[in-house]
A and B are shown apart, each in its own frame.
Chain A
């Protein structure tokens, strides 16, 4: 079967750095997405990786290793507004998105 694993919940301090991991086992791979979802709101797109390596976008970076079936989202200089759930999703060989259950990130002052 297809599976996406992410930690259920993480806690970090304002101003710090946090890394949210995602491991996947899917039938094929056509890209990996990270979305942010604030409580009670819609998911919004953060990043897309299809090649190995690091993609940087301001305070957020996303890394992919296809050989290890592994990605992480790195958030720097954490702000209170970064408190949200972070969803990892993989596009499989049929171009269907397989979603992880999400990681709830709690930021403490």
Chain B
């Protein structure tokens, strides 16, 4: 079982460039999430999805877009990267059961925007 797989693991972008981070899970989870993790701060939710074809905004959605065309995949797009988007991005998935909704995380994608 691969769990949650993120690609790429590392990427360097110039300001204004675009890119897509791919997240794939093989656990048949309904819910998927994109977080960013910055030094000295808690994980912050960017966007999430409660099922195939659905997306919703999290705490810090500006500058990002997402798509969930297939249940197992959740894509995070940056249309015009900015230095403030330099961060480590984590994808996670869960069954979505209320309460003990345990998240399974991918290994992370480190993005640097110059």
Contact = CB atoms under 8 A, between A and B. Distances in A.
Given A99-B43, A101-B41, A50 B108 contact: no
Interface string A17-38: 0000000000000110101000
Contacts of A13: none
A94 to B, nearest CB: 11
Contacts of B107: 41-42
Contacts of A100: 42
A10 B56 CA distance: 37
B90 interface: yes
Given A42-B106, A42-B107, A45-B103, A4 B98 contact: no
Contacts, number: 50
Nearest to A40: B108
B45 A97 contact: yes
Choose among B4, B90, B100, B107 the residue with the greatest number of A CB atoms under 10 Å from its CB.
B100
B101 interface: yes
Interface residues of B, number: 19
Decide if the interface of chain B is mainly helix, strand, loop or mixed: loop
A45 to B, nearest CB: 5
Interface residues of A, number: 25
Nearest to A45: B102
Contacts of B42: 4, 87, 89, 98-102
Contacts of A70: none
A11 interface: no
20 contacts: A8-B40, A30-B99, A31-B99, A35-B103, A40-B108, A41-B108, A42-B90, A42-B108, A43-B90, A43-B103, A45-B102, A45-B103, A45-B104, A97-B45, A99-B42, A99-B43, A100-B42, A101-B41, A101-B42, A102-B42
Interface of B: 4, 40-45, 90, 98-108
